Amino acid sequence: MSLSAIDRLCFALDYPDLDSALPIARRLAAEVGVLKIGLELFLREGPRAVAELARLGPRLFLDLKLHDIPATVAGAVRSVGALGVDFLTVHAGGGKAMLEAAAHAASEVSASRPLTLLGVTVLTSMDDAELHGVGVGDGAASQVARLGRLAIDSGLGGLVCSVEEVAALRGALGAAPVLVTPGVRPAGAAVGDQRRVGTPATAIESGSSILVVGRPIRQAPDPVAAARAIRVEIGEALGSRS
Ligand code: C5P
């Protein structure tokens, strides 16, 4: 997939309601290629958030991180399909039957606006110690490789992983999967609750398709300038990758 620098920048609209999300989304619509609607916004505003943001132009990513039994997740994917978004997340840890049911439901969504399912491997806020606490003893790199392979073999179109794992996944899975990396931090930016982070240039050089950026843009004194600077860094890294 040949994506431009703007196509590769996704802004996480982590706001409590549309009154706060829409003004910043409008300002950033010319700087980013994807807007991500997360749980905070969707649980308050519902489908209205999708309808309002769809007018702005960027592609839409509904980050619901579905994780339930196969029939329930398939039904949820069908409901999201009717909304008309471009990307939807499901937890790869839900297992093969759940992932296959989700992929089948997504394949039946309107061909005019295909829905790409992204499997969340390991949250970028988790490190090896946290994984140990939930029974995963062999660390993030192994767990991401295992779940990434499972999700792609089950028919998903892409994965969410950290910048630290994206090169290994790209090497193992080839050029086709859409690899989405949150936990992106320009050099010197605050890390916050993220644990596995990387710069925009490293993400691109490592084979990331789309970079999700929230706080480094949202909390910047000038969010438009911050987004533009990240886009320029992505463009430069693409130039040196090709
Ligand atoms: O503010 P920040 O740049 O850390 O935002 C990252 C965004 O990416 C958040 O909306 C978060 O929900 C999302 N995300 C993540 N790790 C994942 C999947 C999604 O941080 N594995």
pLDDT in tens, 112-121: 789 999 999 9
Q: What is the CATH number of the domain that holds 82?
A: 3.20.20.70
Give the per-residue pLDDT at 1. Answer: 56
210 alpha carbon – ligand 1 mean position (Å): 12
Report CA(169)–ligand 1 centroid distance (Å): 19
Annotated active-site residue in 44, 65, 146, 149? 65
Q: What is the pLDDT at residue 189?
A: 86
Model confidence at 61, pLDDT cuts 50, 70, 90, reads very high
CA–centroid distance, residue 75 to ligand 1 (Å): 25
Task: Give the pLDDT of residue 160.
Answer: 97
What is the mean predicted confidence (pLDDT) over 119-135? Answer: 94
pLDDT band at 205 (very low <50, low <70, confident <90, very high): very high
Domain that holds residue 29: 5-241
pLDDT at 124 (0 to 100): 86
pLDDT band at 196 (very low <50, low <70, confident <90, very high): confident
pTM above 0.85, yes or no: yes
| pLDDT value, residue 26 | 98
Question: Which residue has the CA at smallest separation from atom 18 of ligand 1?
Answer: 123
Total number of domains in the chain: 1
Confidence of residue 242 (pLDDT cuts 50, 70, 90): low
Q: Which tens digits make up the pLDDT trace of 149-189?
A: 999 999 999 999 999 999 999 999 999 999 999 999 998 88
Give the mean pLDDT of 200-205: 97
Residue 128 has pLDDT above 60, yes or no: yes
Residue 162 Cα: closest atom of ligand 1: 21
Ligand 1: residue whose CA is nearest its atom 3: 214
Mutational pocket test of ligand 1: of 28, 41, 124, 194, the residue with most ligand atoms within 8 Å of the beta carbon: 124
pLDDT per position as a tens digit, 68-103: 999 999 999 999 999 999 999 999 999 999 999 999
The answer to whether residue 134 scores a pLDDT higher than 60 is yes
Catalytic residue at 65? yes
Distance, CA of 86 to CA of 232 (rounded, Å) = 24
pLDDT digits (tens, 9 = 90+) for 225-234: 999 999 999 9
